[in-house]
Amino acid sequence: MNYQKILEDIHQEILPMLPMGKVATYIPQLAGVSPQKFGMAIHTIDGESFQIGDAFEQFSIQSLSKVFTLSLGFPFEGDKIWNRVGREPSGSVFNSLVQLEYEQGIPRNPFINAGALVVSDILISHLTNPQASLQEFVRERTNNASIHDDPVVARSERETGFRNAAMANFLKSFSNLKNEVEAVLTFYCFHCSLSMSCMDLAKGFLFLANRGQCPWTHQQVLTPSQAKRVNALMLTCGTYDAAGDFAFNVGLPGKSGVGGGIVGVIPNQLAVAVWSPGLNEKGNSAAGQYALELFTTKTGVSIF
């Protein structure tokens, strides 16, 4: 498979689409990112890598971090984690308060904001320094010791994240947060503010394509069964209330973030990451999703 040629073809096809989406302005630090940015990277479990465009430029990964927090927290709790967060698609926007009230403080899945707040709470309970531990976890998964957070983005998100604060307090009222609300919100904004590139993300998600084993450290991060379950959640819940559309068009487990990044996983083969800041009405990268659709169409490879 000539992945480099495929990426070059996708790049040419995608260029006219870049101005079509809208950057996430509700987080002030993301509002100034150019919608013309586009990067895409592939990393295979055999150690090959391919890239195009702005694939090495770092950007705010936002909700892509929820895959890392779930993968770090899952082994601590095992299947008990599902007593506090569900495994079903939301069918609603990622920051819905109505759904959380209706379901009495049990978030629908770990990838909507309320679910990620619960997972953040779990990590705070198990780790002495959750920020340092998560950062080290991400650095090991990417084989990149320079991965860091962006305090300006975190502060911007915390100062304007009134709905997240409301959800955290709501979760606390149902006893589904064990730690102080402010500590959970601070950690949540920290991991959403991590800065990574497409190549970092393609490498960082590769353990999910490799039955839970990190290719660089040979560490078994998740059991094969747990890796399968995280991939299943990405397929059904990773792109919010557009998960069905993403599965229909792309056909991969995937996770998106409002910074414009999307990562897809082909089990036993590779991880592919794309970045284009312009978002569609569902909060997913418009050009990024189409680029991944072109990728699975041109390669003829998906999980279906």
Each residue's pLDDT, cut to its tens digit, for the chain (304 residues) gives 899 999 999 999 999 988 888 888 777 778 788 889 999 999 999 999 999 999 999 999 999 999 999 999 999 999 999 999 999 998 766 667 778 888 889 999 999 999 999 999 999 999 999 999 999 999 999 999 999 999 999 998 899 889 999 999 999 999 999 999 999 999 999 999 999 999 999 999 999 999 999 999 999 999 999 999 999 999 999 998 899 999 999 999 999 999 999 999 999 999 999 999 999 988 899 999 999 999 999 999 999 8
Domain boundaries, the chain: 3-298
Residue of 3, 23, 60, 63 marked catalytic: 63
Indicate the CATH number for domain 3-298.
3.40.710.10
Residue of 3, 37, 65, 66 marked catalytic: 66
Residue of 250, 258, 265, 274 marked catalytic: 258
CA–CA separation, 255 and 235 (whole Å): 8
Residue of 240, 250, 265, 272 marked catalytic: 240
Beta bridge partners of 260: none
188 annotated active-site: yes
255 annotated active-site: no
Q: Record the tokens describing residue 3, joined without a space.
A: 């992945």
Strands in 59-60's sheet, in edge-to-edge order, are 59-60, 194-196, 148-149
224-237 and 65-77 helices, crossing angle to 10°: 140
63 annotated active-site: yes
CB 229, CB 155: distance < 8 Å? no
Work out whether the CA dihedral 50, 268, 298, 290 comes out positive or negative.
negative
- Number of helices (H) and strands (E), helices first, in the chain? 13, 8
Residue of 188, 197, 265, 274 marked catalytic: 188
290 annotated active-site: no
C-alpha to C-alpha distances, 90 to 65, 86, 113, 229, 255, nearest whole angstrom: 18, 10, 11, 17, 14
CA–CA separation, 283 and 293 (whole Å): 17
113-126 and 162-173 helices, crossing angle to 10°: 60
102 annotated active-site: no
